[in-house]
Amino acid sequence: MNRIEKVMQTLVKNNENAFVPYIMAGDALVEQIAFLEKAGATAIEIGIPFSDPVADGPVIQRAGKRSLENGTTLRGVLRTIADIRPIIHTPLIIMTYMNPIMALGISEFIDECSRSGIDGLILPDLPIEEEEIIAPFAEKAGIEIIRLVTLTSPLERIEEISKKGRGFLYAVTVNGITGARKGFNEQLGEHLQRVKSVSSLPVLAGFGISSPSHVQEMNQYCDGVIVGSKIIELLEARDLAGIEELINASKITHVKN
């Protein structure tokens, strides 16, 4: 069983919430992964820097630009992860766009992911209609593709997408790019409830979540959260206590509405 599927099954069984932090690959990658595992992250999403992102807001874009300027490459990231994988037990998920994968070669990319102990992939620019170019390779290697649904996805499509995976469903909480926000649309809770009503997978909310109160709010409606821009801001400020506060907020059990 894939590590992501295993940990999500355990959380659901125990009525616990998931917390998945996003970090940008580059400097201090090993130290950041080790810290987040110790802090209690359910899984860790590792972004690959890309020159032309379509879903990333300004904080993640700046982090990606710095990472590229420092010479970070997809192959280099995977080999760094391979070196530390024997001592890291938390599920690791690569978030990247398709261009770097195509440049490396799909088969070679999956082989490198498998050797590195990668558990999942998030590919924001790959619609389900085109995922056959990579999904069979990933499935054969036991690597889970984490699929996204949005506020504008019809329920029929959400149900169709949720049936394709065995890890979790990534529910995007805003119509737009990533980035910390003060609040969310009043109808978001109802939307997340609808997603859960048709999803055969645990549902994690992501985009814009930036405070312990946001974490607790989202966890009333779904099975956990994914936090990116705020994690990067806190890492840049060396505010590790702020990250621990976010993770600890996810440990407060809610009765789902």
- Is domain 3-249 in CATH 3.20.20.190, yes or no? no
The domain limits of the chain are 3-249
Average pLDDT value for residue range 235-257: 88
Express each pLDDT in 182-226 by its tens digit. 667 778 999 999 999 999 999 999 998 999 999 999 999 999 999
Whole-number pLDDT of residue 210: 92
Q: Which residues are catalytic?
A: 45, 56
Cα 77 from Cα 74, distance rounded (Å) = 5
Cα 17 from Cα 135, distance rounded (Å) = 27
The average confidence (pLDDT) of the chain is: 93
Q: Residue 207 carries which DSSP code?
A: S
CA-wise closest residue to 180 among 235, 125, 225, 233:
233
Express each pLDDT in 133-144 by its tens digit. 999 999 999 999
- Token digits for 13? 């069984």
Whole-number pLDDT of residue 27: 80
